[in-house]
Amino acid sequence: MINLIPVNQTNLMLRVKDLYLNEFPEYECVPYWMLIYKTYNKHTDLYAIHHGNDYIGLLYLTYYEDIVYIFYLAIDPSQQSKGYGSKVLQYLKETYKDKRLLLNIEKIDEVSDNYEQRFKRKLFYEKNGFKNIDFEIKTVKKNIVYEILYFGDKVYEKEYQALFKNYYGPILSFFY
Protein backbone atom coordinates (compact mmCIF):
# COMPACT_ATOMS: atom_id res chain seq x y z
CA MET A 1 0.00 0.00 0.00
CA ILE A 2 1.23 3.47 -0.91
CA ASN A 3 1.67 5.94 1.97
CA LEU A 4 2.49 9.61 1.62
CA ILE A 5 4.32 11.03 4.61
CA PRO A 6 5.05 14.77 4.82
CA VAL A 7 8.82 15.16 4.51
CA ASN A 8 9.00 17.36 7.59
CA GLN A 9 7.62 14.42 9.62
CA THR A 10 10.37 12.01 8.52
CA ASN A 11 14.12 11.70 8.78
CA LEU A 12 14.28 11.53 4.97
CA MET A 13 14.61 15.22 4.13
CA LEU A 14 18.18 14.82 2.80
CA ARG A 15 17.32 11.66 0.88
CA VAL A 16 14.32 13.38 -0.73
CA LYS A 17 16.51 16.38 -1.57
CA ASP A 18 19.12 14.14 -3.22
CA LEU A 19 16.46 12.39 -5.29
CA TYR A 20 14.96 15.73 -6.31
CA LEU A 21 18.31 17.20 -7.37
CA ASN A 22 19.42 14.02 -9.19
CA GLU A 23 16.21 13.13 -11.02
CA PHE A 24 15.18 16.51 -12.41
CA PRO A 25 17.22 18.76 -14.71
CA GLU A 26 18.40 21.93 -13.03
CA TYR A 27 16.27 24.10 -15.35
CA GLU A 28 13.15 22.30 -14.09
CA CYS A 29 13.94 22.72 -10.41
CA VAL A 30 12.87 25.48 -8.14
CA PRO A 31 15.31 25.89 -5.26
CA TYR A 32 14.83 23.10 -2.71
CA TRP A 33 14.48 25.61 0.12
CA MET A 34 11.46 27.00 -1.76
CA LEU A 35 9.84 23.55 -1.86
CA ILE A 36 10.24 23.27 1.90
CA TYR A 37 9.14 26.86 2.51
CA LYS A 38 6.00 26.37 0.40
CA THR A 39 4.98 23.33 2.47
CA TYR A 40 4.17 25.69 5.33
CA ASN A 41 1.38 26.97 3.07
CA LYS A 42 -1.81 24.91 3.12
CA HIS A 43 -1.76 24.76 -0.70
CA THR A 44 1.45 22.71 -1.10
CA ASP A 45 2.77 19.36 0.16
CA LEU A 46 6.10 17.56 -0.18
CA TYR A 47 5.86 13.86 0.58
CA ALA A 48 8.20 10.94 1.00
CA ILE A 49 6.45 8.06 -0.76
CA HIS A 50 6.48 4.75 1.08
CA HIS A 51 5.31 1.29 0.21
CA GLY A 52 4.96 -0.37 3.58
CA ASN A 53 8.16 0.59 5.41
CA ASP A 54 10.19 1.11 2.22
CA TYR A 55 11.02 4.58 0.97
CA ILE A 56 10.31 4.65 -2.76
CA GLY A 57 10.31 8.29 -3.85
CA LEU A 58 9.03 11.82 -3.59
CA LEU A 59 5.86 13.64 -4.52
CA TYR A 60 5.35 17.39 -4.54
CA LEU A 61 1.80 18.68 -4.99
CA THR A 62 0.23 22.08 -5.11
CA TYR A 63 -3.49 22.79 -5.01
CA TYR A 64 -5.60 25.45 -6.66
CA GLU A 65 -9.37 25.41 -6.47
CA ASP A 66 -10.31 21.88 -7.65
CA ILE A 67 -6.94 21.20 -9.32
CA VAL A 68 -4.18 19.05 -7.85
CA TYR A 69 -0.97 19.81 -9.71
CA ILE A 70 1.68 17.09 -9.65
CA PHE A 71 4.70 19.36 -9.60
CA TYR A 72 7.30 16.62 -9.03
CA LEU A 73 6.99 12.84 -8.91
CA ALA A 74 10.15 10.74 -8.75
CA ILE A 75 10.70 7.13 -7.87
CA ASP A 76 14.08 6.27 -6.35
CA PRO A 77 16.24 4.51 -9.00
CA SER A 78 16.52 1.45 -6.75
CA GLN A 79 12.72 1.14 -6.82
CA GLN A 80 12.00 1.89 -10.49
CA SER A 81 10.33 -0.57 -12.87
CA LYS A 82 8.32 -2.12 -10.03
CA GLY A 83 5.02 -0.39 -10.84
CA TYR A 84 5.29 2.21 -8.10
CA GLY A 85 4.73 5.19 -10.41
CA SER A 86 1.39 3.75 -11.53
CA LYS A 87 0.50 2.89 -7.93
CA VAL A 88 1.15 6.48 -6.86
CA LEU A 89 -1.00 7.83 -9.70
CA GLN A 90 -3.78 5.37 -8.82
CA TYR A 91 -3.54 6.48 -5.19
CA LEU A 92 -3.87 10.13 -6.27
CA LYS A 93 -6.85 9.36 -8.54
CA GLU A 94 -8.62 7.63 -5.65
CA THR A 95 -7.67 10.22 -3.02
CA TYR A 96 -8.63 13.19 -5.19
CA LYS A 97 -11.51 11.64 -7.14
CA ASP A 98 -13.47 14.90 -7.01
CA LYS A 99 -10.45 16.92 -8.26
CA ARG A 100 -8.69 17.38 -11.58
CA LEU A 101 -5.10 16.11 -11.72
CA LEU A 102 -2.60 18.05 -13.79
CA LEU A 103 1.10 17.75 -14.69
CA ASN A 104 3.69 18.80 -17.28
CA ILE A 105 6.06 16.68 -19.33
CA GLU A 106 8.69 17.71 -21.83
CA LYS A 107 7.16 17.69 -25.31
CA ILE A 108 8.20 14.76 -27.47
CA ASP A 109 10.76 16.11 -29.90
CA GLU A 110 12.65 13.69 -32.13
CA VAL A 111 15.78 15.87 -32.12
CA SER A 112 15.97 16.19 -28.33
CA ASP A 113 18.81 14.47 -26.48
CA ASN A 114 16.32 12.53 -24.36
CA TYR A 115 13.73 11.65 -27.02
CA GLU A 116 13.32 8.04 -25.86
CA GLN A 117 12.86 9.12 -22.23
CA ARG A 118 10.24 11.70 -23.24
CA PHE A 119 8.42 9.16 -25.40
CA LYS A 120 8.34 6.54 -22.62
CA ARG A 121 7.20 9.13 -20.07
CA LYS A 122 4.26 10.16 -22.23
CA LEU A 123 3.26 6.52 -22.81
CA PHE A 124 3.42 5.92 -19.05
CA TYR A 125 1.03 8.78 -18.30
CA GLU A 126 -1.31 7.87 -21.15
CA LYS A 127 -1.38 4.26 -19.88
CA ASN A 128 -2.46 5.74 -16.54
CA GLY A 129 -5.37 7.64 -18.10
CA PHE A 130 -3.87 11.10 -18.57
CA LYS A 131 -4.77 13.10 -21.69
CA ASN A 132 -3.18 16.04 -23.51
CA ILE A 133 -4.55 19.53 -23.12
CA ASP A 134 -4.76 21.56 -26.31
CA PHE A 135 -2.15 24.15 -25.29
CA GLU A 136 1.56 24.00 -24.51
CA ILE A 137 3.86 25.98 -22.25
CA LYS A 138 7.31 27.23 -23.21
CA THR A 139 9.73 27.90 -20.36
CA VAL A 140 11.57 31.16 -20.05
CA LYS A 141 14.75 29.52 -18.75
CA LYS A 142 15.71 27.12 -21.51
CA ASN A 143 13.09 27.38 -24.26
CA ILE A 144 11.74 23.95 -23.34
CA VAL A 145 8.21 23.23 -24.52
CA TYR A 146 6.01 21.27 -22.13
CA GLU A 147 2.92 19.26 -22.87
CA ILE A 148 0.28 19.52 -20.20
CA LEU A 149 -1.55 16.36 -19.23
CA TYR A 150 -4.67 16.02 -17.13
CA PHE A 151 -6.86 13.39 -15.56
CA GLY A 152 -10.53 14.06 -14.88
CA ASP A 153 -12.27 17.08 -16.33
CA LYS A 154 -10.32 19.30 -18.69
CA VAL A 155 -8.22 22.16 -17.34
CA TYR A 156 -8.17 25.41 -19.31
CA GLU A 157 -5.19 27.65 -19.99
CA LYS A 158 -6.55 30.47 -17.83
CA GLU A 159 -6.84 28.06 -14.87
CA TYR A 160 -3.35 26.72 -15.51
CA GLN A 161 -1.89 30.22 -15.45
CA ALA A 162 -3.87 31.10 -12.33
CA LEU A 163 -2.52 27.99 -10.59
CA PHE A 164 1.09 29.07 -11.18
CA LYS A 165 0.39 32.68 -10.30
CA ASN A 166 -1.13 31.43 -7.05
CA TYR A 167 1.88 29.19 -6.36
CA TYR A 168 4.68 31.65 -7.21
CA GLY A 169 2.91 34.91 -6.49
CA PRO A 170 2.59 37.79 -8.95
CA ILE A 171 6.32 38.65 -9.09
CA LEU A 172 8.04 35.24 -9.14
CA SER A 173 5.55 33.86 -11.67
CA PHE A 174 7.34 35.90 -14.37
CA PHE A 175 10.54 33.91 -13.78
CA TYR A 176 9.07 30.39 -13.75
Q: Give 111-131 pLDDT, tens digit per residue.
A: 778 888 889 999 999 999 999
Pick the more confident residue, 114 or 84.
84
**3-class DSSP assignment, residue 132:** strand
Res 27: pLDDT: 81
Residue pair 77/46 in contact by the 8 Å Cβ criterion: no
Who's near 65: CB < 8 A, 6+ residues apart? 159
Res 69: pLDDT: 97
- pLDDT at 139 exceeding the cut of 80: no
- pLDDT at 57 exceeding the cut of 90: yes
Pick the more confident residue, 90 or 12.
90
pTM: 0.90
